[in-house]
C-alpha cells in the first residue's frame, strides 16, 4: 500500500513559549523516553503553550493504551515507525500520512480569527474501518478539552459525490466532502453530541452520545460502516479530512486547524469487512 509523502522542513530553532493561563501538566515528561522529550520544546507558530497532553496520548497509544488500534494500522503500513518519530522530533517532518491517519505538528490555519485554544489544534486525525464493520473516527488535540466555549470537530468524508458538490471552503479546493460527521463538545468538555449530514440530499441524523468518547485530548466516535453507503466509490477508496471550528458552517475564519491541511486522504481498512449497501 503506498504512503502519502510526508511534509518536510528544516530543523526549527528551539523556543520555549508562555503558558495558556494555566500550570504546565506534570508527569508526562518523566514518562516519555529521552527520544521523545525534545518534542515538548520546539518552534510552533502560535502564542500558546506547548501542552504535553497530545504527545502523552500518542505515547500511550504507542505503548498499547488508548488508541493502540491506530498504531496497529500504522505498523501495517510503515516499516520504520521509529524513523518517522525521530523525523518529527528532529524537525525533518511536520506532517505524515498513511491511509486512515494523519499526524502533524499542531498549527493554526492562517485565516482563523478566534482564540486558538489547545483543544482546537489537531495533532492526529484518523478514519478507519476495524473489525465487525466498526468505522472509528478519532482525533488527538494539542491539549485536553478544558476551555470555556463550545467547539466543533468535523470529519468530512467523500464517498464518491464530493467532486460534484465542490469544495467545502473556497480557499481549500481539495476538500470536497459529501458527508460530514460533526461532534459538538460543550464548555470544559462537559458534554458531547454528534450528527451525520449527507450533503447530497441535506439530511441529518443524530449520533447516539454513548458512541462518542472523550479522554484527555482525544475524541473518538464509533459508527457502523453501513451508515455511509457508497456514492460511487468502494469503501476502501473513501477519503477524509478533519477540521475544528468555533462555529459550524462554511466560514473558514471559524476553522482553527485542518488535518490534512488542504486535501483529503484515503480512509483506512484494517480488517476485511462486509460491503456497504
* Structure confidence by residue, pLDDT tens digits, 177-192: 999 999 999 999 999 9
Weakest mean pLDDT among 47-51, 111-115, 166-170, 237-241: 47-51
Residue 99 has pLDDT above 50, yes or no: yes
* Residue that is written with C-alpha cell 460533526 in the block: 182
- What is the average pLDDT across 42-68? 54
Percent of the chain at pLDDT above 70? 73
Weakest mean pLDDT among 105-109, 135-139, 272-276: 272-276
- 3-state DSSP call for residue 104? strand
Residue 70 has pLDDT above 90, yes or no: no
Residue 274 has pLDDT above 80, yes or no: no
- What is the average pLDDT across 90-118? 91
Residue 131 has pLDDT above 90, yes or no: no
Buried b or exposed e, range 160-192, using 16+ CB within 10 angstroms: bbbeeeebbbeebeebbbbbbbbbbbeeebeeb
Greater confidence, 253 or 61? 253
- 3-state DSSP call for residue 108? coil
- What is the average pLDDT across 130-152? 92
- What is the average pLDDT across 72-97? 80
pLDDT at 65: 65
pLDDT at 55: 61
Residue 251 has pLDDT above 80, yes or no: yes
pLDDT at 61: 62
Per the CB < 8 A criterion, the answer to whether 196 and 205 are in contact is yes
* Sequence-ordered list of residues with C-beta below 8 angstroms from that of 140, at least 6 positions apart, any chain: 54, 57, 58, 67, 122, 123, 124, 217, 218
pLDDT at 237: 96
Question: What confidence tens digit (pLDDT) does each residue in 18-40 have?
Answer: 334 332 232 333 323 333 333 32
Amino acid at each position: 500500500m503506498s504512503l502519502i509523502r510526508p511534509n518536510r522542513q528544516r530543523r526549527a530553532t528551539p523556543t520555549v513559549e508562555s503558558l495558556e493561563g494555566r500550570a504546565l501538566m506534570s508527569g508526562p515528561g518523566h514518562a516519555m523516553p529521552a527520544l521523545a522529550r525534545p518534542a515538548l520544546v520546539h518552534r510552533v507558530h502560535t502564542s500558546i503553550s506547548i501542552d504535553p497532553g497530545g504527545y502523552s496520548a500518542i505515547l500511550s497509544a504507542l505503548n498499547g493504551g488508548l488508541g493502540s488500534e491506530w498504531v496497529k494500522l500504522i505498523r501495517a503500513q510503515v516499516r520504520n515507525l521509529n524513523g518517522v518519530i525521530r523525523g518529527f522530533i528532529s524537525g525533518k517532518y511536520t506532517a505524515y500520512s498513511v491511509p486512515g491517519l494523519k499526524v502533524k505538528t499542531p498549527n493554526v490555519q492562517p485565516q482563523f480569527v478566534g482564540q486558538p485554544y489547545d483543544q482546537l489544534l489537531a495533532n492526529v486525525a484518523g478514519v478507519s474501518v476495524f473489525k465487525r464493520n466498526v468505522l472509528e473516527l478519532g482525533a488527538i488535540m494539542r491539549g485536553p478539552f478544558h476551555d470555556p466555549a463550545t467547539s466543533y470537530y468535523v470529519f468530512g468524508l467523500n464517498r464518491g459525490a464530493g467532486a460534484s458538490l465542490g469544495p467545502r471552503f473556497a480557499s481549500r479546493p481539495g476538500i470536497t466532502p459529501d458527508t460530514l460527521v460533526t461532534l459538538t463538545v460543550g464548555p470544559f468538555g462537559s458534554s458531547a453530541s454528534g450528527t451525520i449530514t449527507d450533503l447530497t440530499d441535506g439530511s441529518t441524523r443524530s449520533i447516539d452520545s454513548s458512541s462518542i468518547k472523550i479522554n484527555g485530548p482525544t475524541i473518538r466516535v464509533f459508527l457502523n460502516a453501513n451508515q455511509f453507503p457508497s456514492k460511487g466509490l468502494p469503501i476502501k477508496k473513501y477519503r477524509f479530512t478533519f477540521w475544528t471550528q468555533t462555529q459550524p458552517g462554511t466560514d473558514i475564519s471559524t476553522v482553527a486547524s485542518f488535518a490534512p491541511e488542504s486535501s483529503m486522504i484515503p480512509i483506512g481498512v484494517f480488517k476485511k469487512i462486509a460491503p456497504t449497501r
